[in-house]
C-alpha cells in the first residue's frame, strides 16, 4: 500500500495537519504546514519533519507574533490513522522554534493589558502632595543596544496634567534553566512614579519574554535565547509536541 503512495502520503498529511492547526490558530494572517516523509518512513510510522510557518498569529487575544516558525524532527505516528485523517503521535516529539515580535506588537500587548486590568487610580505622592494618577498610553522601543525602553503617559487626576514616565530593561536567559529574567531596570523620568505605575507593564513584559501567552493544544515552548535589535525582538525556543491538535 505505502509503496504505491509516492508523495500522496505527504500531500494527505500536509492537508490534514493544516486543517487541524487552522482550527487552533484562528487569529492568524497566514499559515503553512510542510510535512516531509516518504512511503518507507510512513510505513514505519515516522515523519521526517513537520514545519509550521505562521504570520500574524495572535495569542490570548493581545500578543501578535510577526512570524513564528516551529520545526519538529523525527515524529513517530500511527501510519494508518494518519492516512485516515488522524495524526496520532505514538511518542512526544521535540524540535525548535523561532518567534519574531515587533515593537508595535509589544506596544499593542501592553495597551491590551492596561485595558484588561482596567486599573483604578493609584494614590501616590507627587511634588510632596498625595494625588491620584492613572496610567494611560504606553509605547515600547526596542533598541539596538539590546534593551527595551518603555515610555508611558500618566494622568494626574487632581490637576488633569499629563506626565511622562519611562524605564529601560535588559532581558537575560535565567542561569538556572530555560526562561527569561529582566535585569538592569533603569527608571528615567519621574523614577519614583515610574516604579509604581509601570509595574503592571513590567510584569507583562516578563510574560512576553517567556511566551506565557503562547497556548496551542499539544505544543510547548521553552525560551533558550533572546535577541533584541532595533525595532524587533527574536526569541529562540525549544519546541515540544505531545499530541497533534484535534487528533
Percent of the chain with pLDDT over 70: 91
- Pair 242, 87: CB distance under 8 Å: no
Q: Please check whether residues 205 and 231 belong to one and the same domain.
A: no
Instruction: Give 168's strand partners.
Output: 149, 186
When pLDDT is cut at 50, 70 and 90, the band that residue 238 belongs to is: very high
Distance between CA 216 and CA 224 in Å, rounded? 19
Predicted pLDDT of residue 103 = 95
Q: Give the domain range for residue 76.
A: 2-101+211-241
Q: Is 102 helix (H, G, I), strand (E, B) or coil?
A: strand
Q: Please check whether residues 67 and 109 belong to one and the same domain.
A: no
Pairing of strands 30-36, 46-59: antiparallel
Distance between CA 12 and CA 185 in Å, rounded? 51
Specify if 23 maps to a domain: yes
Distance between CA 110 and CA 21 in Å, rounded? 27
Specify if 246 maps to a domain: no
Which among 89, 141, 116, 72 is positioned nearest to 204, based on CA atoms?
116
Tally the residues of the chain. 247
Which among 7, 2, 55 is positioned nearest to 35, based on CA atoms?
7
Specify if 22 maps to a domain: yes
Which pTM does this prediction carry?
A: 0.86
When pLDDT is cut at 50, 70 and 90, the band that residue 4 belongs to is: very low
Q: Please check whether residues 59 and 126 belong to one and the same domain.
A: no
Number of domains in the chain: 2
Is it the case that residue 85 has pLDDT exceeding 70? no
When pLDDT is cut at 50, 70 and 90, the band that residue 94 belongs to is: very high
Distance between CA 67 and CA 31 in Å, rounded? 10
Average pLDDT, the chain: 85
**Can you tell me the mean pLDDT for 75-100?**
86
When pLDDT is cut at 50, 70 and 90, the band that residue 55 belongs to is: very high
**Can you tell me the mean pLDDT for 135-145?**
92
Give tens-digit pLDDT for 96-137: 999 999 999 999 999 888 777 655 677 888 778 888 888 888
CA-atom Rg of the chain in angstroms: 23
Amino acid at each position: 500500500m505505502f509503496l504505491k503512495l509516492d508523495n500522496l502520503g505527504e500531500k494527505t498529511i500536509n492537508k490534514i495537519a493544516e486543517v487541524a492547526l487552522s482550527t487552533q490558530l484562528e487569529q492568524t494572517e497566514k499559515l503553512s504546514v510542510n510535512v516531509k516523509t516518504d512511503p518507507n518512513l510512513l510505513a514505519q510510522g515516522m515523519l521526517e519533519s513537520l514545519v509550521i510557518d505562521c504570520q500574524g498569529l495572535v495569542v490570548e487575544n493581545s500578543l501578535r507574533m510577526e512570524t513564528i516558525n516551529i520545526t519538529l524532527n523525527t515524529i513517530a505516528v500511527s501510519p494508518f490513522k494518519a492516512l485516515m485523517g488522524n495524526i496520532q503521535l505514538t511518542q512526544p516529539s521535540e524540535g525548535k522554534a523561532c518567534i519574531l515580535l515587533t515593537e508595535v506588537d509589544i506596544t499593542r500587548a501592553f495597551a491590551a493589558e492596561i485595558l484588561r486590568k482596567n486599573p483604578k487610580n493609584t494614590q501616590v505622592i507627587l511634588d510632596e502632595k498625595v494625588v491620584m494618577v492613572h496610567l494611560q498610553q504606553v509605547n515600547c522601543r526596542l533598541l539596538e543596544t539590546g534593551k527595551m525602553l518603555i515610555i508611558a503617559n500618566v494622568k494626574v487626576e487632581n490637576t488633569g496634567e499629563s506626565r511622562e514616565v519611562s524605564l529601560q530593561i535588559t532581558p537575560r536567559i535565567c542561569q538556572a534553566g530555560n526562561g527569561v529574567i529582566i535585569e538592569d531596570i533603569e527608571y528615567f523620568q519621574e523614577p519614583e512614579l515610574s516604579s509604581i505605575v509601570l509595574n503592571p507593564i513590567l510584569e507583562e513584559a516578563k510574560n512576553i519574554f517567556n511566551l506565557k501567552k503562547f497556548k496551542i493544544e499539544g505544543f510547548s515552548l521553552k525560551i533558550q535565547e533572546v535577541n533584541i535589535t532595533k525595532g524587533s525582538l527574536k526569541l529562540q525556543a525549544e519546541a515540544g509536541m505531545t499530541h497533534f491538535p484535534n487528533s
